[in-house]
Amino acid sequence: MPKYLDISDKVRFSCHKGVACLNKCCRDVNIFLTPYDIVRLKNALGITSQKFLDKYTVSPFSKEQKIPIIVLKLKEEDKTCPFAGKEGCEVYADRPRACRMYPVGENSHDISKKTEKAFFLIEDKFCLGNKENKTVTVSDYLNNQGIGKYNEMLEYFNQIISHESFIEGKHLNEQQIGMFYMACYNIDKFRKFVFESSFLKRFEINEEEIKRIQNDDTELLKFGSRWLRYALFGEKLFELK
């Protein structure tokens, strides 16, 4: 079992181009992508969300799975991340949340009958970063990795995937799965749905919000989260005209 850490605890770790194990953590790994991960990556690459999904992702599915999930597609020849170059990550400024967190893991930990978020250090044998002399608190490490905005956007996603309706056993039908996939992952298609269908004629949306979501993918993700809670779970977050 991992040793759980507090946000103020210190860890010994440093990763840089001089570390001999560079890119080994980018090989033979499942990197689950959040909606915000996809927005950052597709914009960094200058392509549409549809092209990004087609080229760089897979969506595994099982009967037990209640919602679609997106996983980064690894190179077939060596099972490495498609963005792992000789000098390191080629999309480093927009790398996914999972990559930013490493080697800090997070989990729910039962303390005094309360579920609290706790952290732990992932100690992979290949990783030499924990042999470095640099020590840093968990809090400072995550701040240095720019995790704040990713966590903020993850909360909107969690409002959907952790909804009490799923806990009570709700399953999405085929149409709802398509709606979920579009609003969460295919943000450019969702924008067309909002602006090129009868959507704005059917719902009361103020002009200020319309302007925000027209060109801002992050604002559109937030809007999509509200829309899914309305459409999938019946929350009264939208008003019909």
Q: Is 62 exposed, middle or buried (0-12, 13-18, 19+ CB in 10 A)?
A: exposed
Mean pLDDT along residues 7-26? 91
Contact yes or no for 89/83 (Cβ under 8 A): yes
pLDDT digits (tens, 9 = 90+) for 106-119: 886 555 445 566 89
In a domain, 159, yes or no: no
Same domain, 114 and 181: no
In a domain, 238, yes or no: no
Same domain, 121 and 217: no
Q: Which two tokens stand for residue 223?
A: 């809007």
Which runs of E-coded beta strand occur in the chain?
Answer: 10-12, 57-58, 71-72, 84-85, 88-89, 104-111, 114-121, 135-137
Mean pLDDT along residues 175-182? 96
**Domain count across the chain:** 2
Distance of alpha carbon 63 from alpha carbon 122, whole angstroms:
30
pLDDT-based confidence at residue 87 (cuts at 50, 70, 90): confident
**What HEC string does 79-104 produce?**
CECCCEECCEECCHHHCCHHHHHCCE
Same domain, 171 and 147: no
Q: Which long-range contacts (CB under 8 A, 24 or more apart) does 114-122 make?
A: 118/4, 118/5, 118/6, 119/4, 119/5, 119/6, 119/7, 119/9, 120/2, 120/3, 120/4, 120/5, 121/2, 121/3, 121/5, 121/11, 121/13, 122/2
Mean pLDDT along residues 147-154? 96
> In 3D, which of 31, 40, 30, 32 has the Cα closest to residue 221?
40
What is the overall mean pLDDT for the chain? 92
In a domain, 115, yes or no: yes
Same domain, 52 and 142: yes
In a domain, 22, yes or no: yes
Top mean-pLDDT range of 39-43, 66-70, 86-90? 39-43
Which residue is it, tokens 């604002």?
219
Contact yes or no for 220/231 (Cβ under 8 A): no
Q: How high is the pLDDT of residue 115?
A: 56
DSSP state of 33: P
Return the minimum-mean-pLDDT range out of 41-55, 58-72, 133-147.
58-72
In a domain, 42, yes or no: yes
Mean pLDDT along residues 168-187? 94
Same domain, 129 and 63: yes
pLDDT-based confidence at residue 146 (cuts at 50, 70, 90): very high
Same domain, 183 and 226: yes
pLDDT-based confidence at residue 17 (cuts at 50, 70, 90): confident
Proportion of the chain above pLDDT 70, given as a percent: 95
Q: Is pLDDT above 70 for 15?
A: yes
Proportion of the chain above pLDDT 90, given as a percent: 79
Which runs of E-coded beta strand occur in 102-208?
Answer: 104-111, 114-121, 135-137
Q: How high is the pLDDT of residue 114?
A: 52
Q: List all residues 6 or more positions away from 179 whose beta carbon is below 8 Å from its beta carbon.
A: 228, 231, 232
Q: Is pLDDT above 90 for 145?
A: yes
In a domain, 241, yes or no: no
Same domain, 39 and 146: yes
Mean pLDDT along residues 225-236? 96
The residue segments making up the domain with residue 174 are 167-233
Mean pLDDT along residues 196-215? 96
Same domain, 20 and 103: yes
Residue 121 forms beta bridges with which residues?
104
